[in-house]
Chain A
Amino acid sequence: MNPLIFTTILMTVLLGTMIVMMSSHWLMIWIGFEMNLLAIIPILMKKYNPRTMEASTKYFLTQATASMLLMMAIIINLMHSGQWTITKVFNPTASIIMTSALAMKLGLTPFHFWVPEVTQGISLTSGLILLTWQKLAPMSILYQISPSINLNILLTMAVLSILVGGWGGLNQTQLRKIMAYSSIAHMGWMTAVLVYNPTLTMLNMLIYIMMTLTMFMLFIHSSSTTTLSLSHTWNKTPLITTLILITLLSMGGLPPLSGFMPKWMIIQELTKNSSIILPTLMAIMALLNLYFYMRLTYSTSLTMFPSTNNMKMKWQFETKRITLLPPLIVMSSLLLPLTPMLSILD
């Protein structure tokens, strides 16, 4: 589309999230969410075909419902507390409704059904924005109301998300759906520790965004959206296959890569608060995620698919410029020794 219009719409998306993160008035937060939603629809529909239309419609319907629920929670909070400032939500009804609304926006179970389908229908770059930038605004609100969230609901949603994210991704070969299920599982990890130590939620969000950015950049570089087309990268750019291996192992949470850091910190925080079965269960269910990442690495870097360039040649257009790929790769794999620096967050 026209670059000027595209820039304006992208700026509106950014502005919407910024408004959500920086306001102190509940109405402004709702306005920020709506701006974000309306402006991202054209970005999701960058290519005009029925798939993207369907994906955008599904996204719009779920997010609009979530915004309406959020508005209802805000009004109930207004009724009971008499003011519009962002603080923890004292009324339990309002708190539960707000948590559900924000869970719908994030894609937590049982409101996760839209994530794979929407991510699959849109292009890789739009999927990138959807899975990383769009998570920032709801997470910031959850961070701010975290002292008042009902622990039972949040932990149930978190554990179920990790389960669904693990199990749902097992049968997928489309890369965008795999990233969607990985996003659901990571959201589960993030919300599990929200009540105990919200700083770790932010840490996990940061590292998750870095790793997802890296993965999407690598997929965009090789223009691959299925496992099959990813398996041809060894032929064209063998270095990308090694980088995909490292980033996928980091997403799976294997030490000594940086993806292990948020999991370790979250398990530590949960155990310090005397919940032992929960982190054990979460850690074991994260192995399901690791299984389908391993399957992806098997087809990409650890085996060489027997097809040569002559048979299935992809058009070699000009080399795509991938912004910031080397620093992203370094950060998404080598940050674990910097863990003691987290003490500055105190």
Chain B
Amino acid sequence: MLKIIIPTIMLMPLTWLSKKNMIWINTTTYSLLISLISLSLLNQPSNNSLNFSLMFFSDPLSAPLLVLTTWLLPLMLMASQHHLSKEPLIRKKLYITMLTMLQTFLIMTFTATELISFYILFEATLVPTLIIITRWGNQTERLNAGLYFLFYTLMGSLPLLVALISIQNLTGSLNFLLIQYWNQALPDSWSNIFLWLACMMAFMVKMPLYGLHLWLPKAHVEAPIAGSMVLAAILLKLGGYGMLRITTMLNPQTSFMAYPFLMLSLWGMIMTSSICLRQTDLKSLIAYSSVSHMALVIVAVLIQTPWSYMGATALMIAHGLTSSMLFCLANSNYERTHSRTMILARGLQTLLPLMAAWWLLASLTNLALPPSINLIGELFVVMSSFSWSNITIILMGANITITALYSLYMLITTQRGKYTHHINSIKPSFTRENALMALHMTPLLLLSLNPKIILGFTYC
């Protein structure tokens, strides 16, 4: 695992010592190389985990997430080149340093064995993200967004720290590799109910759960493009990953404690999908669509069946790539018109046809078109929730319909129809932007040929 962590840490001296015209080239190239190293982790010989050391391990659940994280860093760097072009050199280097620091913490979080180490790194990802959102965001609302982001997450995760320490007291070790073997049922008592709540709330806030999702539209909208990409693609998945890991220790309370959160998620996915239909702000639409997809993941994790775990993992990876691509597309709009209002830039297919092809592909994967992995994820979740309770099919079906509705609404508003008269002087698409979209789309399409690598640890 050090073969990934040390090169990522060394990206920081690389940025500070690079010459002015080489910073982007150097960092993008080397981060692409690092992502190629992480691909080797996908070769899991058995369903058991690959243990690299006492502190790091990788598992069919964390390997795809790790590959996604390392894949995303070069994409973030490519996407940030334009809006940072006017800044002084030191600020560019600071930005890249923040991204690299975030990347290091994320890699270590996904591969941590000890749960307290996971917690510290989970919290540590907050600091660079906060700095990226508040320092390099564009509107005054970004200050409020940073505060909401920081405090929602911290309020949820401080009880998690206390809960982890009390679990360590009870069981003697928090090393995940050990716990999965000598897991015992938690006795039924009031304090164990609070233990369940304390363990899960941090990840519920991060996912986010429908009632606690207020930070997400703010943070996603106000963040610069790299911030939005990493938030949507990876940081939300930290919540899902944490939930998948910690629910192994929380039986049998999960069978009855999960009900309120299941209800909130099932209702919330319909609500947030419907709100998407009424959004004027493009990034806000994509942010609410993230909430809706993540609500599906919450439902899958709380049902706790093998199929639902497969669906949750597949959906996390698929949504990461799709959402990040949608944010990149929205950013390409923003860089040209300097506004996020959807109706200000319509009919782009006439002017930028290749970009319209990427918009089409992104919208199609967002609405879970077969045979993409988005469909595999959603289908598995829908099927397992149907087997858990037949009535949920109505809500799931409604959600799939509304998702299709708003994805097509977004596509048609921005791409089809007569173009607005003031955008006939926009710059054509850069090769960098097309490369960015291709690099998002290619893994997504290729994974539909071999989805078993992203189906997680319950695939057999």
Contacts and interface: CB of A to CB of B under 8 A. Distances in A.
B84 interface: no
Interface stretch (B127-135, B280-288, B298-306, B448-456): B127-135
B124 A256 contact: yes
Nearest to B105: A256
B121 interface: yes
A268 interface: yes
Given A256-B105, A302-B135, A267 B161 contact: yes
A283 B158 contact: yes
Interface stretch (A221-229, A284-292, A312-320): A284-292
Contact of B151 (A245, A255, A287): A287
Contacts of A279: 162
B199 to A, nearest CB: 13
B120 A260 contact: yes
Given A268-B165, A271-B162, A280-B159, A303 B134 contact: yes
Nearest to B123: A255
A276 B193 CA distance: 13
Contacts of B155: 284, 287
A170 B261 CA distance: 34
Contacts of B147: 291, 294
Given A255-B123, A260-B120, A302-B135, A287 B166 contact: no
Interface string A244-266: 01000100001111001000100
A268 B166 CA distance: 8
B150 interface: yes
B344 interface: no
Contacts of A298: 134, 143, 146
Given A302-B131, A302-B134, A267 B143 contact: no
Interface string B117-154: 00111011011000100110000000100110011001
Given A254-B123, A276-B191, A267 B162 contact: yes
A268 B116 CA distance: 11
Contacts of B131: 245, 302
A256 B158 contact: no
A272 to B, nearest CB: 6
> What does DSSP make chain B's interface, helix, strand, loop or mixed?
helix
A86 interface: no
A294 to B, nearest CB: 6
A99 to B, nearest CB: 27
A276 B166 contact: yes
A151 B20 CA distance: 61
Identify the interface centre among B123, B143, B165: most chain A CB within 10 Å of its CB: B165
A286 to B, nearest CB: 8
A287 B143 CA distance: 17
B165 A267 contact: yes
A336 interface: yes
B166 A284 contact: no
Contacts of A287: 151, 154-155, 158
A283 B161 contact: yes
Contacts of B189: none
Given A249-B127, A256-B105, A294-B150, A271 B169 contact: yes
B120 A336 contact: yes
Contacts of B119: 255
Nearest to B151: A287
Nearest to A299: B143
6 contacts: A271-B162, A276-B162, A283-B159, A287-B154, A298-B134, A302-B131
Given A255-B123, A256-B120, 6 more contacts: A254-B123, A268-B165, A271-B169, A276-B191, A284-B155, A302-B131
Interface of B: 105, 119-121, 123-124, 126-127, 131, 134-135, 143, 146-147, 150-151, 154-155, 158-159, 161-162, 165-166, 169, 191, 198
Interface of A: 245, 249, 254-257, 260, 264, 267-268, 271-272, 276, 279-280, 283-284, 287, 290-291, 294, 298, 301-303, 336
